[in-house]
Structure 1
Amino acid sequence: MQMLARRLDSRRLSVSLIVIGCVLLGFLLRFLAREHATTDAVQYLIPWYIFARDRGIGGLGEAFTNYTPFYSYLLLITAQFNGLGQPLTLVKAISFVFEFGCAIVVALIVWSANKAPSRACVAFCCVWLAPTVIFNGAVWGQADSIWTFFTLVSIAAFMQHRNGILPFAVAVAVKAQGVFLGPFVLGMMLRDKIHWAWLAAVPAVYAALAVPVVVAGRPIASVFSVYMEQAETFHRLTMNAANIWVFAGSVPYQMGVPIGLALAALGGLALAALLARSKREGPEFILLVACASLMIMPYLLPKMHDRYFFAFEVASIGLACLNARYLPFPVIAQVSGVLSYLGFERNIVMGLLPAALCNTLLAIYLVLDLSRDESGFRFPKLAWLGYASSTAGLFAYLLLADAGENMSLTYLLFTGLVVGTALMVIKGSRCASVPERSVAGAAPAHPPVN
């Protein structure tokens, strides 16, 4: 018994040291990228921060950002630490806080599902160090970790058979991209028999968070037209997003927007109906549907940015930690995400095609997986090796050759290899259909949530 206790203590110590090392490494990477400035940072983020710093609370009466009021409050709070770093560093610190929060929530999701501390620690470390997470906040200073944090809290609540509409409403109030979880929330409302009146929480939360800026004198019309103004900022079917619109370059903008909205609406309703009618139970299935919602919405919608798959990239890490059969999800998503980011960061737009093809495979796999009851996994080692080597070759080609619009046989070869081996990885991760196993710690059938 003493020997067993020593082994357990040694294992806990090893896990703790690994987690501490990952946390420190994450902070180091963010520190090294703190002064990296994109054009968006120079034109928007830094001026917004300076305005908040100079005007203080009195500046709330003006629309000094093109985001919702919630982000203005965060800038005002951050400005209180002025002098501890450069303006851009302090702005990026907002993302760092919520990225850390995302890592904690994903770890808690994994822990509550299977009570395995090692898996929860892996989930935390993988989110905190994920390449797209580093890219989004540390390199670009973007705020996608904020709405993603509240999205994950909503998912975690539903997984524990609690009403998660309020955190979902906060996510939508932070950024419109919070609506990507909408089909999942609708399905859970139907599944758990949550009263329709709870939908009023979405506009109510937005209105409540807007009270300080309205009191400060900002016109109501300006407060409630933020999302409409954002929608009119760009007139392109895809803003480097690796989605279906990468393949529709010849479709006119005026035609593509309504078609994309209709496709997303139909896809979202179908997903909600599937969740509501499915007999499958357990936290793994709930998280799987949430990931499907976060993937399919930005995949079908037009006018999406490269970073709008952020929530799926983070949530899928938790799913893989619950069942290693889903390991292709976060791995391929990270590769696709970085390939997409290179379009803005380095103007290497040729990475969008393989990224979109890989995301297409993931979307199809999600739909097929949701339509079947099966579990178990196996590792297609040869396929993983092929995917890793072909992906490395593609990144090397894009970075070293600095491929913009130029297409070559080498590019086509690497693109084909990446997509082909990604398909092998996804296909190899599926086993013969067997009855779904219960997950340790899964709750039994639950009563309606009112």
Structure 2
Amino acid sequence: MSGFVIAATARLAFLPYVSEDSTYFLIPWMQEFRDHGAAALSGEFSNYNFPYLLLMFLAGLLPVEPLIAIKVASLLGDALLAVSVYALAANYRTIGVSPKLAALIALFLPTVVVNASMWGQCDAIYTAFLVLSLRSLLRNDGRSAWLLWGIAFAFKLQSVFFLPALVLISLRNRYSLRFPIMAFGVWALLSLPPAFFGRSLASTFSVYINQTQEHRLVAGAANVYAWFPTATAEQGRVPALVVCGTALLMTAVAYWRGPDTTERRVLLTITVLAVCPLLLPQMHDRYFFAAEVMALLLLRHKDLFLTPWFFATTGAVVYVLYFLSNQYALPLMLGSVVQCLTVGLLFRALWRRHSGRQELRQPTIGISP
């Protein structure tokens, strides 16, 4: 319990910090709610989807200054993330640590500590639902996996990084096509409420399209395009999409050529969560967040035990660079090299038909209706 108290105390120390995101986006959004109440949902003042805006609106009712209210909403995500990691670790015993310790380690990852309490961001929320979705996949519960992914997608567009793994496992196990339809139905229902306040349907459902208008080829992420800091999205978007698509196809082949064990599902998930922000264009600083958290499942893996530490270290470097206004390109380039090596290790492990001692002693997971 003392560890969780320390985790909470560490977050309290960062609450007064005002990030650029808070200054230019989050605080003005909160002010919209305080000025106009729920009626603010009729406007296009934010490019975040409704579930997060609802949390922001509710937090705005607290008698505290806007910055603190914003961070309270985001810190709820940290608590949810700890619970989800606990639940996943309880079902994936190969992690080698107790569920309680796994949840505590997740809370102490540098990026998790800073994301909500210092930055004011909410990446822990969608990641928590992705963690629960993976838990459902390991339990062979395709319906819950897709529904939980739908909730995650309603919170953040970056949930699509998880989609290749979800689709591949679903195809291999012949899950019903109703499940993805239900998932997108959940996303639609959770996205729809602003339309009831007067916002057009086109505007309501184009929030994520508006998020893809970044003009830079890379926006602070430690990915391969950090080596081309002056390149624009227009110049590199198509080649980057081709490269990423090719890498995902190779990952699919690597997964499909071996048995469909629980461990290989975990490896597939972590790999695609890392490949997407590594190779997609227009990636922001925080987009490896889910991969960092999921990599904790490899803490005691014979060959990949360094993976969580590689992700955590590069994530911390990227965050420091953000708070230094991204003035230094070389550390980001070096970080991208570490990310590439880490993804290479994951791919190599997935490519093997068998994973040696670390492979679970269980038959291939059977086909479910």
- How does the TM-score come out when normalised to structure 1? 0.76
1:209 aligns with 2:131: no
Aligned mates of 1:191, 1:173 — CA distance in 2 = 26
Q: Residues 405-424 of structure 1 correspond to what in structure 2 (within 5 A)?
A: none
| 1:448 CA drift (Å) | 3.1
Match of residue 152 from structure 2: 171
Pick aligned residue for 2:44 from 63, 66, 85: 63
Between the aligned partners of 1:130 and 1:23, the Cα distance in structure 2 is 13
Q: Give the paired residue count.
A: 365
Separation of aligned partners in 1, 2:277 and 2:124:
16
Larger displacement relative to structure 2 (323-332 or 156-165): 323-332
Q: Quote the offset at 1:297 in angstroms.
A: 0.7
Question: What is the CA distance between 1:241 and its match in structure 2?
Answer: 0.5
Query: Which secondary structure does the structure 1 equivalent of 2:98 belong to?
Result: helix
Q: Residue 45 of structure 1 is aligned with which of 26, 31, 41?
A: 26
CA contact (8 A) 1:183 1:271 kept: no
How big is the shift at 1:102?
Answer: 1.3
1:160 aligns with 2:126: no
Counterpart contact for 1:151–1:168, Cα < 8 Å: yes
Instruction: State how far apart, in whole Å, the 1-side matches of 2:50 and 2:30 are.
Output: 14
Specify every segment of 5 or more residues in structure 1 that has no aligned partner in the other structure, as ranges: 1-19, 376-433
Measured after TM superposition, the shift of residue 437 of structure 1 is: 4.1
Question: What percentage of aligned pairs have identical amino acids?
Answer: 26
Which residue identity lines up with residue 242 of structure 2 in the other structure?
A
Could you list the per-position Cα deviations for residues 41-65 of structure 1 after superposition, in whole angstroms to 9, with x for gaps in the alignment? 0121112112223322222222231
| Match of residue 352, structure 1, among 332, 351, 367 | 332
Shift in Å, 1:278: 2.5
Mapping for residues 3-402 of structure 1, pairs under 5 Å: 20-80=1-61, 82-83=62-63, 85-114=64-93, 118-163=97-142, 164-232=145-213, 234-249=214-229, 251=231, 253-282=233-262, 284-321=263-300, 323=301, 325-347=303-325, 348-349=327-328, 350-373=330-353, 375=355
The alignment partner of 2:211 has SS state of helix
Change in 2 beyond 3 A, CA 1:436/1:75: closer
Q: Name the SS for the 2:360 alignment partner.
A: coil
SS in 1 for 2:286: helix
How far 1:435 moved relative to its partner? Answer: 5.8
- Would the alpha carbon gap of residues 449 and 49 (structure 1) be closer, same or farther in structure 2, given more than 3 Å must change? farther
Q: Distance in 1 between matches of 2:293 and 2:84?
A: 10
Amino acid across the alignment from 2:205: F
Cα 1:209/1:55, change in 2 over 3 Å: same
Do 1:53 and 1:79's aligned partners in 2 also have CA atoms closer than 8 Å? yes
User: What is the rounded CA distance, in whole Å, between the counterparts of 2:316 and 2:194 in structure 1?
Assistant: 36
CA apart distance, 1:277: 4.3
- Give the Cα separation in 2 of the matches to 1:41 and 1:287: 34
CA distance in 1, matches of 2:41, 2:108: 35
CA distance in 1, matches of 2:75, 2:193: 25
Quick check: 2:96–2:299 contact (8 Å CA) kept in 1?
no
Once residues 96 and 306 of structure 2 are traced to their aligned partners in structure 1, the CA distance between those partners, rounded to angstroms, is 22
CA contact (8 A) 1:69 1:209 kept: yes
Q: CA 1:159 to 1:138, structure 2 compared with 1: closer, same or farther past 3 Å?
A: same
1:55-81, Cα deviation, whole Å (9 max, x unpaired): 22222222231111111111122123x
Matched residue of 1:231: which SS? coil
> How many Å separate the matches in 2 of 1:126 and 1:40?
26
Partner AA of 2:180 in structure 1? L
- Which amino acid counterpart does residue 66 of structure 2 have in structure 1? P
Task: Report the Cα distance in structure 1 between the residues aligned to 2:158 and 2:182, rounded to whole angstroms.
Answer: 17
Structure 1 or 2, whichever has the larger Rg, is 1
* Amino acid of the structure 2 residue aligned with 1:160: R
Structure of higher RCO (CA pairs closer than 8 Å, 6+ residues apart): 2
Unaligned runs of 5+ in 2: none
Does the Cα contact within 8 Å between 1:91 and 1:141 map onto a contact in 2?
yes
Task: Pick which of 127-136 and 62-71 moved more.
Answer: 62-71
Change (3 A) 1:117 1:356: closer
- Over the aligned positions, Cα root-mean-square deviation in angstroms equals 2.1
Shift of 1:249: 4.0
Matched to 2:92, the amino acid is A
In 2, the alpha carbon distance for the partners of 1:436 and 1:360 equals: 23
